Amino acid sequence: MKLTVIGCGYLGATHAACMAELGHEVLGMDTDRDKILALGAGKAPFFERGLDELLAKHTASGRLKFTASYAEAASFADLHFLGVGTPQRTGNNAYDLTDLFAAVRRLATHIHRPAVVVGKSTVPVGTAPRVADILRGKAPAGEQVEVAWNPEFLRESFAVEDTLHPDRLVLGFAGENTHAETVLRQCFGKIIEAGTPTITTSLATAELVKGSANAFLATKISFINAIAEVCEAAGADVHQLAEALGHDARIGPRGLRPGLGFGGGCLPKDLRGFMARADELGADQALGFLREVDAINNRRRERMVDLAREQLGGTFKGKRVAVWGAAFKPDTDDIRDSPALAVAARLHRLGAEVTVYDPKALDNARKAHPELDYADNAFDAAERADLLLHLTEWPEFTGISPERLATRVTQAKVIDGRGTLDPARWRQAGWTHRALGRP
């Protein structure tokens, strides 16, 4: 098939490359010309595991191309995926749909023949009918343009895998047995034939699935972090407790990873956007508990600051703190709402001299937080440190020798915010080891 992807940020670029991998001819469209030049050269302007390889493979084969022209996109294909970003609106928790609607309007004016426009962006329920109204009102093809919704469920650092081998495929349509359904089933034919559970539903249900999934995941993470607070007070080990809970088939182990909490460009924003839309619909009481979920998550960062203050004798003044991690999670350079950087910046404001190291996110961190110091490796970050904070669980950190590292620091003290450093190993090497949710 021939298809376009409108908006080539994290979601759109990944979707475009993966659709080419499935055998389609794909044209990615974005108004950022620098981004288009980079993608056209087979290189993503961000780090996502496996994506550059797909981009290079399919730009070289000619199966994947990029443009900054809406007119070219509309003439190239009759199947258009919307991957435009929907950030949190300034001043409140709702989604900002400005860029999404602007893209739909500009695309619509060039659609002269029957087409299917598929939303992938995370949006508040009720957005799809507004997209349909814009297309009917502005597209020369008018009523011959159908709208469908196909929410994404990508995990950063697993986005390629999650696109090509999803754990479910959700397809939302305005009616039953539509032309849009026939087109999308053809588009995703290889994925469906592989046995992927495929749910065909209404537009409203499809829109709600992504927000509901992220709200549930956030609840699970915050639940185990709330239990971590109880464990600290009781002298229990939250990691062992989480392992025991995970063996219950009704609960499962995924998402029960206690630590510093969640961040990134999706989960916090989607949680708050989901609550904001519920408020607008008059269903705010039903989701009131999600406010505490959000509060628990933010409290983990303050708890890390409190533990650091305790380890430094009650003050940050004149103290050197090494921070391992800047990305919100490993295997990405995404620092949006990063718990690690939030803690680092907070310690700096409280008077500490903070040096940060991250394997992939240093350039983004430097731009966002020029007030912090940065190092090119984990050992240099810890040079003459009074305290080490492990805040992003990159695999390289677990392989570092605590014995070697002890020779570089002023005080051998570490707080593990992610629970992946071996407490026994670090204590045997002479370190004072503390961790969230552990005695």
| Cα-trace Rg, the chain | 24
Contacts of 327 (CB under 8 A, 6+ apart): 333, 334, 335, 338, 340, 358, 360, 361, 392
Place of tokens 């928790």: 93
Residue pair 94/124 in contact (Cβ under 8 Å)? The answer is yes
Residue pair 214/267 in contact (Cβ under 8 Å)? The answer is yes
Residue 83 in tokens: 């991957």
Q: Alpha-carbon distance 102 to 131, whole Å?
A: 10
Q: Any catalytic annotation for residue 231?
A: no
Catalytic site residue from 18, 187, 231, 266 = 266
3-state secondary structure 100-165: HHHHHHHHHCCCCCCEEEEECCCCCCCHHHHHHHHHHHHCCCHHHEEEEECCCCCCCCCHHHHHHC
End-to-end CA distance of the chain: 57
Instruction: Classify residue 355 by its DSSP letter.
Output: E
Comparing C-alpha atoms, which of 178, 2, 16, 13 is closest to residue 75? Answer: 2
Catalytic residues: 266
